[in-house]
Amino acid sequence: MSTTTTRDLASPAPAKAYPAKPWRGLRGSRTFNFWLFSAPFLIGLVIFIYVPIGWSIYLSFFEARFTVTPSKFVGIDNYTYMLTDPKFVNSLVTFTVFAAFIVPATWAMSLGIALLVNRLRFMRAFFRSVFFLPTACSYVAASLIWKMTIFNGVRFGLMNTVLGWFGVDNIAWLASPNPPWYWLVIVTLRLWLQSGFYMILFLAALQNIPPELYEAAAIDGARPGWQTFRYITLPQLRATSTAVVLLLLIAAYQAFDEFFNLLDKTTWGRPPLVELYATALGTEQDYGAGSAGAVILTVLIIVVSLFQGRLMGFGRAEESK
């Protein structure tokens, strides 16, 4: 006969005691480690990005000549001046022409190179590195190479030498805006410098396309080549293409080095950043008007980016089937 009482059945078993975990100090805290590694970046971001942006917006409402200290509140006069300034308006037209050339050309070349490299069965890493290598080159150094060796306006320039073999006279590529041969110089320079970077983006997207899609297309009778590219590859690259076009538009707005070094001391062919540089750091040193132009350019970049993203469906959820 069991001697267990009702009290013994109702009382819970004593909890098992576990040894207390040793205190590892602040280094064992995830929150502390997060702020430890993020704080230097965040501090630099605030000091060198957000503070200058805020000061530029504040300065755009004041008159500030030869100093970054605001002296007189002028309201939106700086914005009115920049929007009616023919030089600044023409710089926006210059950007439009530049973007119309460089964005589709870079997109097509980057995608074409990515398709070729992706089809390689050997030495893929070598060719990927070769095409990506120009990305590491300085825009200033590349501009000088293009100006002094390839597109030099005298007979020993590479392009004029090749054209001379066909009886074409020397062309002053950067001397005159009519005809605007400088566009060929600047566009080819940009293509060489940035196509490799966007090739890497397309190449990563191509390698993420499931092979089963191509197998199913082959079973359905799709021909390898244009049909496969149009109905399988290109739709799968929609998100990457949208991101590439967006990055190209922003980079076109920010074009400065090649224009400044190739078209030195000219009043034509200036993009917005070169014109703002001349306004703020030129003879007048009008920092208020320059800041207003920078704000206008920033707003324009945001509007164009949002419009382009909406047009190409960036961030749009996939429709349920």
For residue range 25-62, list pLDDT tens digits in order. Answer: 555 577 878 888 888 899 999 999 899 889 989 999 99
* Helix ranges restricted to H, 138-271: 139-145, 158-165, 182-207, 211-219, 226-228, 234-236, 238-253, 257-262
What is the pLDDT at residue 318?
A: 46
pLDDT tens digits, one per residue of 208-221:
888 888 888 788 77
Q: How far apart are CA 251 and CA 245, in angstroms?
A: 10
User: Would 190 be classed as within a structural domain?
Assistant: yes
Q: How far is 266 from 168, CA to CA, in rounded Å?
A: 26
Domain presence at residue 96: yes
**CATH number of the domain residue 93 falls in:** 1.10.3720.10
pLDDT digits (tens, 9 = 90+) for 242-263: 889 989 988 888 888 888 888 8
Q: Check pLDDT > 50 for residue 144.
A: yes
* Residues 6+ positions from 149 with CB-CB distance below 8 Å: 157, 158
Tokens for 204, please give them: 């990563």
DSSP collapsed to 3 states, 2-67: CCCCHHHHHCCCCCCCCCCCCCCCHHHCHHHHHHHHHHHHHHHHHHHHHHHHHHHHHHCCEECECC
26 falls within a domain = no
Quote the number of domains for the chain: 1
Residue 22 forms part of a structural domain: no
Give residues with Cβ within 8 angstroms of 113, minimum separation 6: 131, 195, 196, 199
Q: Is there a domain that residue 50 lies in?
A: no
Rounded CA separation 182/251 (Å): 19
Q: So what's the pLDDT on residue 295? A: 92
Position of tokens 């970049």? 301
The Cα–Cα gap between 305 and 318 comes to 21
Name the percent of the chain lying above pLDDT 90: 17
Residue 69 domain-assigned (yes or no) = no
| Calpha distance 314→123 (Å, rounded) | 34
- Residue 36 domain-assigned (yes or no): no
Domain that holds residue 190: 77-311
Q: What are phi and psi of 18, to 5 degrees?
A: -105, 145
25 domain-assigned: no
Mean pLDDT of 130-150: 88
Token pair 């496969």 in the structure block, residue: 228
- Summarised one tens digit per residue, pLDDT across range 259-314 is 888 886 666 677 888 888 888 887 778 888 889 999 998 888 888 888 877 777 66
Q: What is the pLDDT of residues 60-109, one digit of tens each?
A: 999 888 887 888 888 889 999 998 988 888 888 888 888 888 889 999 99
Cis peptide, bond prior to residue 179, ω within 30 of zero = yes
Give pTM, 2 decimals: 0.76
